[in-house]
A and B are shown apart, each in its own frame.
Chain A
Amino acid sequence: MPPLIEIKGLSTQFHLATGVLKAVQCVDLTLDPGETLALVGESGCGKSITAASIMRLVPPPGRIVAGSILFKGIDLLQLPEEEMRGIRGNRIAMVFQDPMTSLNPVFTVGNQVAEGLRVHRGLSRREAEREAVEILSQVGIPAPRERIRDYPHQLSGGMRQRVMIAMALSCRPELIIADEPTTALDVTIQAQILELLDRLKKETGMGLILITHNLGIVAERAHRTAIMYAGRIVETAETSELFRNPLHPYTRGLLASLPEFGAPGEKLSTIAGSVPDLRNEIIGCPFRERCPICVAACATQEPEMKEAGAGHSVRCLKAP
């Protein structure tokens, strides 16, 4: 089976007055149909810009400077904008983190869910509305026929996130990119939304790229996981393999710092220091200043991604 999406050597940069910020550096990713890939990292590591690059929605002054993004064999980066518009929101859809700022406050939710259907599938106003009601009920919104007349502010956070998912699903996309879809929600609502995404994925066979910093969600929901640090992918593996056998010192540090692993009251293990400023030229390994196993070569040589086992790759000179 050919992969649903195959990203090779993606680099995205922001040309700022103060220098060039290399937000995404040489990212390789593959996703098969029906698969969930988790993209994990701390704020500023480039995970959201990777998502925006796939959608070709990198905000200026950002620019994709290298790489290819093959979606079912078509390179999205070579498509004219007009054709990209036919894919965006139609075959690849996105769920954003904050439903309060990503929904338009002056349109009803029905209007917003129906918009994609009218644009991409050419449905009439009435047909699109009927379809919108159907989709809203699928994502678990009670009384959808009444709710489509509501404005976003009339709904709770959980309901708004469901509307966002309904919008993303409206055209039956083959790929959904969900950027921190539950971070703004309470845990009991988060559980409902994640269950819903899983169910819809099973029903429709779509692929899901899940961007999150919550390792618990990753462990429970993702088939494969890619860990990002300073714009690079530093480790990727099947999720269970990654949690059982983390190889990159950053991955190990992240897992060890979880309160879940420490005994109550005991000191948590931490990663010293903080992330490097991506506006500065990074020579060698970007993690070396925080790394417990760094050697002299790390300061001069940027490590290559190397195979460490079946489907398990790591970007570290010292990793086994």
Chain B
Amino acid sequence: MTALLSAQNLVKEFPVRDGLFAQKLRLTAVAGVDLELFPGETLGLAGESGCGKSTVARLLTGLIPASQGAIRFHGKELSGMDRSEFAQFRKEVQMIFQDPFSSLNPRMRVSEIVAEPLAIHRIGTPGERKQRVVSLMERVGLSGDQLSRFPHEFSGGQRQRIGIARALAVSPRLIIADEPVSALDLSIQAQIINLLQELKGELGLSFLFITHDLSVLRHLSDRIAIMYLGRIVETGSRDAVLSATLHPYTEALLSAIPSVHPREGKPRVIARGELPSPLFPPTGCPFHPRCQYAEELCGTVRPELLEKEPGHLAACHFSEKNYRQRSSF
């Protein structure tokens, strides 16, 4: 099966200046990421704030250009696309944002918000668009008579439904969702997760689901990729990553999540210290200053992301050695 969307050695650098007279520095937000997304699958991308996961989302949607590397959609490279091919790519890849408050224009009515992508891509007559908008609103659980309202008249959960309707308007193949439920209350979160799951089954959508909530990730993903400081440190099937964890960072992340299930005396692994600045990444393995298993080699040589088990990749020198003692999610 060919990938719907793939990225090879994706790099994004931002020039920054630390103070008025300081020299220019380069902040490497994404430092060589490889990704593949297949039709109908959900890839969960997880990591802490500042690890580069949102930058990856913006690169993959073509919102910002990559400094290096290639993104392919249906096997065709983004940079080599002509106008109409790029318009098609933009139509087929849609995005859902985290904050349902700032991602909807407060001066537009809901009907205009949902119809805008149709107008941009010149789909249908105004009459057909209106019908499509009504059916989309009903599909995401809002009633057609709310169409002439403004975003502020809706609750957070309802606004996120509007954002989903807008993304679905042009019948995309892939939806990139950047923390779509993290701003919502618990009982509303479950409603939105169910809606996304239903839509995936009904429309055969692929999802790139970005989140820092691993219980949501476990619920929705077919495959999972864990990012740390601009790199993917572990990737594989959901069960492999969560139950047969190979990378110490994934282990610390899983262990740090407060769980309503009793821990049954499992020792908690707490990562020491904090995320290092991506301006001055550590030498060797980026996680070594916080890693409880780190040895001398980790401080000097950066481990490559290698296949340790079939389909299960990790970037750690000692994953085989430490794997046996690990606990499961």
- List residues of chain A with CB under 8 Å of any chain B CB: 42-43, 156-159, 186-192, 194-195, 213-221, 243, 253-255, 257-262, 264-265, 267-271, 274
Contacts and interface: CB of A to CB of B under 8 A. Distances in A.
Contacts of B238: 264
B305 to A, nearest CB: 21
Nearest to A250: B187
Given A158-B274, A264-B219, A257 B252 contact: no
A187 B253 contact: yes
Given A259-B218, A265-B197, A214 B187 contact: no
Complex A-B, nearest 5 residue pairs according to Cβ-Cβ distance, in ascending order: A216-B258, A257-B190, A191-B256, A186-B48, A259-B219
B188 interface: yes
Contacts of B259: 216, 219-220, 260
A5 B265 CA distance: 32
Nearest to B273: A142
A159 to B, nearest CB: 8
Contacts of A189: 48, 274
A259 B193 contact: yes
B20 interface: no
Interface in B254-307: 255-263, 268, 270-271, 274-275
B194 interface: yes
B185 A42 contact: yes
B212 interface: yes
B186 A254 contact: yes
Nearest to A243: B260
A265 B48 contact: no
Contacts of B40: none
Contacts of A158: 274
Nearest to A214: B258
A260 B253 contact: no
Contacts of A190: 256, 258
Contacts of A219: 258-262
21 contacts: A42-B185, A42-B187, A157-B49, A188-B253, A188-B270, A190-B256, A190-B258, A191-B270, A213-B185, A213-B186, A216-B259, A219-B259, A257-B187, A259-B218, A262-B219, A264-B238, A265-B197, A268-B219, A270-B191, A271-B187, A274-B157
B153 to A, nearest CB: 13
A318 B173 CA distance: 47
B37 interface: no
A265 B193 CA distance: 10
Contacts of A42: 185-187
B135 interface: no
A257 B192 CA distance: 11
A267 B194 contact: yes
Contact of B212 (A187, A214, A261, A271): A187
A269 B274 contact: no
B240 interface: no
B260 A270 contact: no
A215 B197 CA distance: 23
A294 B186 CA distance: 22
Contacts of B274: 156, 158-159, 189
B78 interface: no
A220 B191 CA distance: 26
Contacts of B155: 274
Nearest to B50: A186
B216 interface: yes
A260 B48 contact: no
Contacts of A215: 186, 260
A43 B185 contact: yes
Contacts of A217: 258
B189 A257 contact: yes
Given A186-B275, A219-B260, A192 B218 contact: no
B270 A192 contact: yes
A220 B263 contact: yes
B220 interface: yes
A221 B220 CA distance: 28
Nearest to B270: A191
B215 interface: yes
B282 to A, nearest CB: 16
B315 to A, nearest CB: 18
A43 B183 CA distance: 11
A302 to B, nearest CB: 22
A260 B48 CA distance: 20
B186 A259 contact: no
B33 to A, nearest CB: 20
A158 B272 CA distance: 12
Nearest to B329: A260
A60 to B, nearest CB: 23
A260 B214 CA distance: 9
Contacts of A213: 185-186
A185 B97 CA distance: 20
Contacts of A265: 197, 219-220
Nearest to B272: A192
B256 A188 contact: yes
Given A186-B49, A188-B256, A254-B187, 7 more contacts: A156-B274, A188-B48, A189-B274, A219-B260, A260-B261, A265-B197, A265-B220
A213 B189 CA distance: 12
B197 A253 contact: no
B212 A186 contact: yes
A219 to B, nearest CB: 4
B258 A270 contact: no
Contact of A187 (B48, B197, B218): B48
B75 to A, nearest CB: 29
